Every structure is written in structure tokens, then in C-alpha cells.
Amino acid sequence: MHAQSAPALPVTETASSGSDGGNDGAWKRVTSSLRAELGEDVYTSWFSRLALDGVDPDGTARLSVPTRFLKSWIESHYADRIVRFFTAEIPDVRRLSIGVRSACAKVAVRPAATIVSAPIADVLPTRLSVAHDGTHETGTANLVGSPLDRRLTFANFHVGRSNTLAYAAAQQVAKAKPHEPVRFNPLYVHASVGLGKTHLLQAVGTEAESGGRRVLYLTAERFMFGFVSALRAQTALAFKETLRGIDVLIIDDVQFLQGKSVQQEFGHTLNALIDANKQVVIAADRPPAELESLDERLRSRLAGGLSVEMGGLDEELRLAILKARVAAEEARNPGFSVPSEVLDYVAQVVTANGRDLDGAINRLVAHNTLTNAPVTLEMAEQTLRDLVRTHEPKRVKIEDIQRIVARHYNVSRADVLSSRRTQTVVRPRQVAMYLSKILTLRSLPEIGRRFGGRDHTTVLHAVRKIEALVAKDAQLAEEIDLIKRMLQE
Ligand SMILES: Nc1ncnc2c1ncn2[C@@H]1O[C@H](COP(=O)(O)OP(=O)(O)OP(=O)(O)O)[C@@H](O)[C@H]1O
């Protein structure tokens, strides 16, 4: 894919802390505009991991994302729009540069000012074609997996209440012997951004390889742009032969798999491997039932093994992760040390995810090494200000949404749940469905059930409809905003 819509979008590989203090307000408004124009689903799929790294004096806004796939997708589909929103906020911005945050930055904590790129010896490509004794198998040499990072292991994956089950299932799958029957197939792990899915999948890959199994680890990007075309170049027989060469297939971020034919290949691969008793491990940011771009059969195949969710990192878990990161950093940087009250403080206030914890340590290291200032509580408070969540958003219940929306539109809650289709109840019903999608974590099918047993496609239609109306009807947007605030108070 090429960037056609925006001028000069160089490919840059930067390690980023993902924050640009001076333009935070403008960036927030840019992302709100994107969200409003594109809708919550599209926004979450493509932009939730987009970060602003800075705005250069020549008018280049430097953004970053974690994968090349996201980079090329955003460049080719959304660059123009982002520039437009930026220019409305900061008139000097004329172009974008989207960088890929280095995988290495996830674990190796270095000063933020240092450009980090993964050392080749540390990030070994997993070649399906390489057998355990190092010889190359024929017929599969064209299938090259995404890299496995040997540093993301079970040993340094910290276990707490939110991920015990996923960890145990992942271990079981990874430690199985090459010809043992496969128990959980596929193993499907889902969690929101930065909660350790990639870490766990990488650990499965490394462990399974060290147990003598042949592993193919693919990001969704590699699946779409490498694996699928390699498969298409083969005959059906060669395809089967190829799959025979895999013991464990791991696919990360399947929510990004797009397109009918890619899905077909994905479905074939999944079926062929599962039927042949080969292990498949999948990660995504949502449960199988909510992978709206996949067809029904595929979703049910994905849900047919073991699907486990990893929840947020609790404070104990955050502290354990921080301690390990800091210990590694202290070993690397003899002058760097973090007092325990600072660790406790960071664990208490940086609550979002593992990536923010990495970012917090990066900043402390950068501040310490660049200014020689010791790490103190005060310094940490200053440096980490924007990573601190002041308050958790209130959890909103679907019943409350139905009640408040009904009251606002002067209809009854029973009307909202009924099958009546007059405009006076259709609009409040659609608004309530829309708010249920954006303010709760409920899936579309669940929302449908709670609105008088409706189908998930009805909910999706309502969400899209209201999104489209809100984008052009300022009065409705204001009305909905008001209801939202009432619900969140
Ligand atoms: N339980 C954990 N133990 C140790 N490190 C963790 C844990 N959970 C998350 N991390 C760390 O947090 C960072 C983000 O985790 P990771 O990249 O695996 O998240 P992810 O769920 O794959 O996110 P995304 O959805 O954005 O791909 C990594 O540095 C990872 O090592």
C-alpha cells in the first residue's frame, strides 16, 4: 500500500513514548474529530494506538503506531483527513510522518531520546522452513513468519487475577509434546490494548519451538500480505503439504484481518490445521462474537476452542511488572535507581495498561540520564503527569441508558424495548442503542438482547445511523452529549 493522499509520508522507525506534552489539547481534539467522523468501531480499530510524538517546525506532525500494517493502512486511507483535522487545530501543520514504534521499546527500557531498533540477533525470524536440526524443508521455504522476540517469555510474564486463566491455557498449549492430542483449539485470547496479548503469544511461540515444535507466528499484517499470497502461489496439494509443516500457528491482532478473500484463506487455514490436530493460537482486542468484519462461520470456529479474556492489570500486577522493568534498567544503567515509594506511586497512578507502564519507566530513565536529576516522588509526579488518569469513567448500565433516553424523549422504557416502529420511538431506541455501544463494554448481540431480543445487525445499523446523523446534525450531537453527561455524572 502507498500513501497517495498525503504529501511526504516517510517510513520512520522510532521508539516513542507516545506523548507530546505541548500539543496534547490539539491532539485530543484531532482524535475526537476522527472519532466523531468515523464512528467508534472504525476509530477503535485503526486509531486507538495512534500516538502523537511531536510537531516539527517545518509543519510535520510526527505520529506513531505499533505496526507497519497500521502505518500503511492509516497512510493510505486516512492521512488526508488527519492532516485536515490537524490544520484546523494547528494551522502550521501541513503533512504527517507516521513512524512504527519499535517492538524492542516494549521491553528494553532505554532513554526516550535514544533511537532504538531491534538488534538482529535478538529478534530472530521464525522460519517455517527451518527444521529443528537447522536444515531447510522444501515446499515451505516461501512462508516466513513474523519475528519472535525471545525476550517476551513466560518467565517474565507476570501473573495476577486478571490473566491467570489465559496464562495457564497458554502454558498448557505451549508445553504440549509434538504428537500429543490438542486440547484447546483454537486458543483465543482477547484483551484490550497493551494488556499483554502479544507478550503471551510470543511466549507460546518461543516455548513451543524450544519443545521441538514448528511454529509459525504471524501478525495480521503478515498473514494478509505474506502468507495469503504465498498460499495462492501454490496448488491445493502444495498448500496441504505446507500446512503439514506447521505444528503451531499463532496469529496476533486478528481484528485487523480485512477482506473476503483473506477471510476465506484464513478460514481454510484454520479448518485444515484444526482438523489435522495442529495447535492454533489467536489474539484479538475483542471476543470472537464481536469480530464484526468476519463471517458468522469463522466467528463460531474461533469461539469453538477456548476463548479467554485478560482483564486490566491490577495494582499488584502493575507493581510486579514495574519492579522487573526497573531492576533490568538499574542493571543496565548503574546510575539509575528508583526508590520504592516512587514505584508504589507509579503502580497506583499509571493504571491504563502495560504499555503506559513501559512509557513511564522510559520517561524516568530519560529524565534521570539527560538531566542527572535523581528519581524522586516529585520528579515522577511532574514527569508522568499526562499518564495519570484522574478518575475512572463511571460504569454505565444499559437499563440506565434506556431510562434516561426514554425520559429525555418523553416515551416510556417499554416503548423503547417494544417492536413499535413509529418515528417517535425509533429515534430514542437508536440513540439508546448507540449510547449502549459507546458507553458500555457490552457486545452488539448482548445489546440486541437487552433491547427486546433484537438482532446484532439492528444494533449495528442504529449505531451507524446515529454516528452519521451526529456528524452532520449539531443539535442532535449536543443532545446526545447532554444525555451522555447525565449518564456519567
Ligand atoms: N502480565 C504482564 N507481565 C509482564 N509484562 C506485561 C504484562 N502485561 C503486559 N506487559 C507488558 O506491557 C507491554 C504491552 O503488552 P503487549 O504488547 O503484549 O500488549 P497487547 O495486548 O499485545 O497490546 P496491543 O493490543 O496494543 O497489541 C509489553 O511491554 C508487555 O511486555
**ipTM given for this complex:** 0.98
Q: What is the pLDDT of residue 143?
A: 60
Query: Does the beta carbon of 213 lie inside 6 Å of ligand 1?
Result: no
Residue 351 confidence (pLDDT) above 50: yes
Give start and end residues of each alpha helix (H) in 2-39. Answer: 24-38
The grid coordinates of residue 383 equal 514527569
Question: 154: CA distance to ligand 1 center in Å?
Answer: 12
Q: Which residues pair with 62 in a beta bridge?
A: 54, 97
Percent of the chain with pLDDT over 70: 81
Q: Is 197 annotated as a binding residue?
A: yes
Ligand 1: residue of 116, 150, 198 to mutate (most ligand atoms within 8 A of CB) is: 198
* Closest by Cα among 324, 332, 336, 323 to 375: 336
pLDDT at 134 over 50: no
Ligand 1 contact via 197 beta carbon (within 6 Å): yes
pLDDT at 68: 67
235 is in an annotated binding site: no
CB-ligand 1 contact for 151 (6 Å cutoff): no
Q: Write b or e for each residue in 247-269: b if 16 or more Cβ atoms lie within 10 A of its Cβ, otherwise e.
A: bbbbbbbbbbbeeeebbebbbeb
The H or E element containing residue 65 is strand 60-65
Burial bucket for residue 296 (CB in 10 Å: 0-12, 13-18, 19+): exposed
Name the closest-CA residue to atom 9, ligand 1. 196
Question: Higher pLDDT residue, 489 or 98?
Answer: 98
pLDDT at position 16? 39
Instruction: Give me ligand 1 centre to Cα 199, in Å.
Output: 5
Mean pLDDT of 295-322: 91
Residues of the chain with CATH 3.30.300.180: 12-101
362: Cβ–Cβ under 8 A, 6 or more apart, which residues? 17, 105, 109, 110, 111, 112
Ligand 1: distance of its center to the CA of 399 in Å? 34
Look at residue 193 in the predicted model and tell me its pLDDT: 86
Q: How much is the pTM?
A: 0.59
Strand ranges for 76-194 from DSSP E = 95-101, 123-127, 144-149, 187-190
The residues of the chain that CATH labels 1.10.1750.10 are 398-488
pLDDT at 159: 95
Phi, psi values for residue 188, rounded to 5°: -120, 115
Q: Looking at residues 244-268, what average pLDDT do you find?
A: 83
41 vs 109: CA distance, rounded Å = 32
**What pLDDT is recorded for position 393?**
56
123-309: which CATH topology? Answer: Rossmann fold (3.40.50)
Mean pLDDT of the 448-472 span: 92
Q: Quote the ligand 1 centre to 353 CA distance (angstroms).
A: 8
- pLDDT value of residue 230: 65
- For ligand 1, the distance from its centroid to the CA atom of residue 440, given in whole angstroms, is 23
pLDDT value for 248: 92
Ligand 1 proximity of 312 Cβ (cutoff 6 Å): no
Which residue lies with its CA nearest to atom 5 of ligand 1?
Answer: 157
Instruction: Give CATH 1.10.8.60 domain extents, the chain.
Output: 315-387
> CA 197, CA 191: separation in Å to the nearest integer?
7
What is the CATH architecture assignment of 398-488? Orthogonal Bundle (1.10)
- Overall average pLDDT of the 1-21 stretch: 36
Q: Is there an atom of ligand 1 within 6 Å of 359 CB?
A: no
Q: Out of 11-15, 447-451, 460-464, which region has the weakest mean confidence (pLDDT)?
A: 11-15
191 within ligand 1 shell (Cβ under 6 A)? yes
pLDDT of residue 270: 87
Q: Which residue has the higher pLDDT, 142 or 52?
A: 52
Q: In ligand 1, which atom is closest to the CA atom of 49?
A: 26
Helix 260-275, helix 296-303: angle, nearest 10: 30
Does 196 show up as a binding residue in the annotation? yes
pLDDT tens for residues 185-238? 999 999 988 899 999 999 999 999 999 898 989 888 777 776 666 666 666 566
145 CA to middle of ligand 1, Å? 20
Q: Are 26 and 112 in contact (CB under 8 A)?
A: no
CATH 3.40.50.300 residue ranges in the chain? 123-309
Q: Given pLDDT bands bounded at 50, 70 and 90, which one contains residue 360?
A: very high
Fold of the domain spanning 315-387: Helicase, Ruva Protein; domain 3 (1.10.8)
Q: What is the mean pLDDT of residues 479-484?
A: 86
Atom 23 (ligand 1): residue with closest C-alpha? 194
Mean pLDDT of 43-49: 77
Cα dihedral angle (216, 222, 223, 224), rounded to 10 degrees? Answer: -170
Superfamily of domain 12-101: DnaA, N-terminal domain (3.30.300.180)
Residue 282 β-bridge partners: 188, 251
Buried b (16+ CB within 10 A) or exposed e, 115-151: ebebeeeebeebbbbbeeeeeebebbebbbbbbbbbb
Over range 246-253, report the average pLDDT.
91
Query: Comparing C-alpha atoms, which of 444, 364, 447 is closest to residue 401?
Result: 447
- The 8 Å CB, 24+ separation contacts for 433-436 are 433/458, 433/459, 433/462, 433/463, 433/466, 434/462, 434/463, 434/465, 434/466, 434/467, 434/480, 435/396, 435/401, 435/405, 435/480, 435/483, 435/484, 435/487, 436/398, 436/401
Query: Which pLDDT band, with edges at 50, 70 and 90, does 39 fall under?
Result: confident
Average of per-residue pLDDT across 288-296: 81
Cα 194 to ligand 1 centroid, rounded to whole Å: 5
> Does pLDDT of 123 surpass 60?
no
Instruction: Compute the mean pLDDT over every residue in the chain, rounded to the nearest whole number.
Output: 80
Decide if 79 contacts 9 (C-beta within 8 A). Answer: yes
| Res. 106: pLDDT tops 60 | no
pLDDT band at 69 (very low <50, low <70, confident <90, very high): low
**Mean pLDDT of the 18-34 span:** 78
Determine the Cα–Cα distance for residues 357 and 384; give it in Å rounded to an integer.
Answer: 10
9-13, 95-99, 149-153, 441-445, range with the lowest pLDDT:
9-13
- Per-residue confidence (pLDDT) for residue 114, from 0 to 100: 21
Q: CA–CA separation, 117 vs 362, rounded Å? A: 15
What was the pLDDT predicted at 11? Answer: 29
Task: Band the pLDDT of 79: cuts 50, 70, 90.
Answer: confident
User: What pLDDT sits at residue 232?
Assistant: 63
